[in-house]
Amino acid sequence: MPLLRLEAVSRDFDVSRPWLNRVLEREPRRALRAVDRVDLEVERGETLALVGESGCGKSTVARLIVGLYAPTEGRIEFHGRRMQMIFQDPYASLNPRWRVRDIVAEPIEVLGLQEKNSINNRVSDLLVQVGLSADDAERYPHEFSGGQRQRISIARALAGEPDLLACDEPTSALDVSVQAQILNLMTELQRRLSLTYVFISHNLAVVSQVADRVGVMYLGRIVELAPAAQLFARPRHPYTRLLLDAVPDLQMSGKPRTPVAGEVPNPLEPPPGCVFHPRCPHANQRCRVERPAVIDSIACHAVEEGRI
């Protein structure tokens, strides 16, 4: 049984104009579908990465998983005890008025995981576990660097003794050298504590280092899902291919790297058929009118028909 399962999960957001404007101008309510019928399974101990351009819905999926949003449609099953989340901006996600000790201790106190007289010792252990000092418990978040603040965020997440961590761009706000340190720390913690990660990122170079499987999202839908080694070696969906073609590769110096052509369509008015067809070099008439079904973990008429 997988640790986490999402079945046809969708999430709509009401983006209607104020009531009076709608009455005067006779406008209907408007909804933006950020996540569109996503199916996923996450096995215990693995790292599943979700990638795609900004606005594709990957962060919304992470928030749906941990319960910050409720799904509009579909079902989410979690067969563990607890889950926690690591956010993108470690400074914005930490209370600037609290000492580190109070920040890390809060999940322990709320969940009743330790006797009151042993909480401080547990906080010290967690800080040491993520590469900080026990003395750092008396300091405030603004006294730390970005990488150190993210370590505090990881310690706070671990304080809840989770089975699953949803990591929403946990290194994108950090310098490259610090990113490597945080990724190495997360890999070591996963091995030592048998953690499961849902890892959200737009950085394919980072994903290639940490993920066991990768789901590629476009306009709220998963268009390809495959083991990481397979996806990076033999991408099948045209969107995945274009994403990988845009990544600099030192072993292929001299080959031009081109960004994905075109713009992401307005999610309030998604294209009919395959949502990627306005930007796809392999689109035909069927792609313009018929939504592709997910077959063998990929949603693409061109792949199904053997055209690519």
Structural domains of the chain, ranges and CATH numbers in brackets: 4-80+163-304 (3.40.50.300), 90-162 (no CATH)
**What sign has the CA pseudo-torsion 44, 65, 155, 216?**
positive
Amino acid sitting at position 5: R
Calculate the average pLDDT of the chain. 92
Position 174 scores a pLDDT of 85
Q: How far is CA 201 from CA 55, 198, 259, in A?
A: 12, 10, 17
150-207 pLDDT, tens digit per residue, is 999 999 999 999 999 999 999 887 888 889 999 999 999 999 999 999 999 988 989 9
Residue 271, pLDDT score: 93
Whether 247 and 209 have beta carbons less than 8 Å apart is answered as no
Question: Collapsing DSSP states into helix, strand and coil, what is residue 150?
Answer: helix
Dump pLDDT digits (tens) for 84-137: 999 988 888 899 999 999 999 999 999 999 998 999 999 999 999 999 999 999
pLDDT band of residue 252 (cuts 50, 70, 90) is low
Residue 254, pLDDT above cutoff 80: no
Q: How far apart are CA 46 and CA 213, in angstroms?
A: 8
Q: pTM of the entire structure?
A: 0.91
Top pLDDT among 46 and 28 is at 46
